[in-house]
Amino acid sequence: MSRKYFGTDGVRGRVGESPITPEFVMRLGYAAGKVLASDTTGLPQGENPVVLIGKDTRISGYMLEAALQAGLCAAGVDVRLVGPMPTPAVAYLTRALRLQAGVVISASHNPFEDNGIKFFSATGAKLPDQTELAIEALLDEPMQTMPSKRLGRVKRMDDAAARYIEFCKSTFPFECDLRGLRIVLDCAHGATYHVAPHVLHELGAEVIPIGNHPDGLNINRECGATHTATMSAAVRRHRADFGIALDGDGDRLMMADADGTVFDGDQLVYAIAKHRSESGYMKGGVVGTLMTNLGMEHALGRLNIPFARAKVGDRYVLELLQQNGWQLGGETSGHVLCLDKHTTGDGIISALQVLHAMRDSRSSLAEYTRDLTLYPQVLLNVRVVKGFDLSDGAVQKACGEAETALGKEGRIVLRASGTEPLIRVMVESTCPELSMRQAEHIAAAVRLAAP
C-alpha cells in the first residue's frame, strides 16, 4: 500500500497548498494523536498521553503549530510546546521525558515558503511506514472531538534548549575539549541559532556564529548546509580552523577546513569511521545510500570496514543500521547518524564526532581524509508530474545504453525525489565528461517521456 501524503521525511509542501493547510494539519494532528497515543500502557488512570511539538524558524510555523495542537487536543492528547528547536532535539526530548510522541514543524533545507510535519515515536525514532499508513487511514475519517473533560491541555517548556545543550555536550568525550579552536558556525537562520553556538562555546571553542538571526523568511537563504559558500568564505575571512554548516532544522551537516574547502556527508562519515576504526571502537560497518560515492565504499574497504547501501533517505539508513546492528551511517547530503550517540541524525552531535577525530589525530580534514578519493558525480533533476513511471521503455533503454558505455568504471542511480515532483539522475564514473554525457542522455529520455 503506497502512502498518499507521507514522503521520505514526513508530510511536506508549499504553505497554503494541499496538504500544508491549517485544515489538513489539524486533521493530521487528530489522526496522529489517535494512532501515536493509542497505547496508554503505563499511564496513570485518567491521564492523557503527551506529545511534544517543536518547529523551525519559518513564519508559517506559528499557524501550523496552532492547527496541529488543536487536532491533538481534540483527540484527547496533552501537548508540550518547545518553540524553535532542532529536529534531533525534539527526538531527544520526546525520549528523555518519556512522552508518547514528538512532532516537528519544518521543511528542513527547503525555502521558507515550504513547510512540513514529521513525527517521532516514543523512542525518539522516525516512524515506520506502517505507522504512517495507519495515520493516513484515519485522515479520511471524520474527526470526533473528545468530550470536554477529556480534551488535551497545552503547556510550554521553558528549559528545553538547556536540556538539549547538555545532551549534545554529553556526547563529546569528557577528557577532550575544543580550546584553541576558532570555528565558524552557520546556523542557516534556522532552529539551531540559539543552541549550537552554546554547545561549541561551552566545550571551549571560540565561536563565530553566522546565519543566527532568523526573521521567519530567511531560513536557508544563501546560507547553511545547502549553500556552503557562505560558511567557506567566512572561514577564510576570520582565519578559522574549521567551519560548520547546519541546515534549517539542524539534522544536516557540512564542514570546511581552514582554507575553506568544503567536506560533504560522505567525507565526514568516512572521517568518523576511520577514527573509530583506529581507536578500536568501530562497531560493525557503515551504511550509505544509493547516492553515496563509490570512492567512499572503496576507501572503507581498504580499512576492512563493511559497507551497505540503503534507499535514499535517512529513515532507510536508520532501518538498515538497526537491521545490521551497526551504529554509523549517512548520506552525501549531510545526514549523519551515530546511533551510539543519538537515535536520529543530528548535525551538532555529528560535528562533535568529526571534531573529536580531528583533535585526536591533530589533523585537518584534508589530511585525515587524504586516502579517500571521491569519483566525479553528475546529478541532474528533471521536473515531472507526480507519479511519473520510471519503468517507461524509452527511459529504461537510455539507462541500459548508459550502463554499457560506463562499463565497470561507473554506475547509475535513477530515482524519484521523496519531497518534490522530480526525477533525479545520478551518474558516477572516473571520467567527468563521460558521466555528464550519459546523465544528459538519460535526462533527455525522461523529459521526452514525461507528460
Residue 39 confidence (pLDDT): 66
Catalytic residue among 108, 121, 333, 435: 108
Q: Does the active-site annotation cover 108?
A: yes
Q: Which CATH class is domain 377-449?
A: alpha beta
Grid cell for residue 220? 536557508
Dihedral of alpha carbons 20, 25, 27, 31, sign: positive
Residue 297 CA to residue 308 CA, distance in Å, equals: 9
Residue 313 confidence (pLDDT): 86
Rg (CA), the chain: 22
Which of these, 133, 145, 152, 118, lies nearest to 25 by C-alpha position? 118
Same topology between domain 163-258 and domain 263-368: yes
CATH superfamily placement of domain 263-368: Alpha-D-Glucose-1,6-Bisphosphate, subunit A, domain 3 (3.40.120.10)
Residue 408 CA to residue 185 CA, distance in Å, equals: 40
Phi, psi of 262 (to 5 degrees): -95, 140
Residue 443 CA to residue 438 CA, distance in Å, equals: 9
Does the domain spanning 11-158 belong to CATH 3.40.120.10?
A: yes
Point out the residues of the chain with pLDDT beneath 50: none
Q: Residue 229: how many CB atoms within 10 A of its CB?
A: 12
CA 274 remoteness from chain centre: 22
Residue 312 confidence (pLDDT): 86
Domain boundaries, the chain: 11-158, 163-258, 263-368, 377-449
Residue 117 CA to residue 6 CA, distance in Å, equals: 9
CATH superfamily placement of domain 163-258: Alpha-D-Glucose-1,6-Bisphosphate, subunit A, domain 3 (3.40.120.10)
What lies within 8 Å, CB to CB, of 46 at 6+ separation is none
What lies within 8 Å, CB to CB, of 365 at 6+ separation is 242, 255, 256, 257, 261, 263, 267, 271, 354, 358
Distances (CA, A) of 430 to 314, 401, 403: 27, 18, 14
Grid cell for residue 244? 560548520
Which of these, 253, 274, 270, lies nearest to 262 by C-alpha position? 253
- pTM of the complete model: 0.90
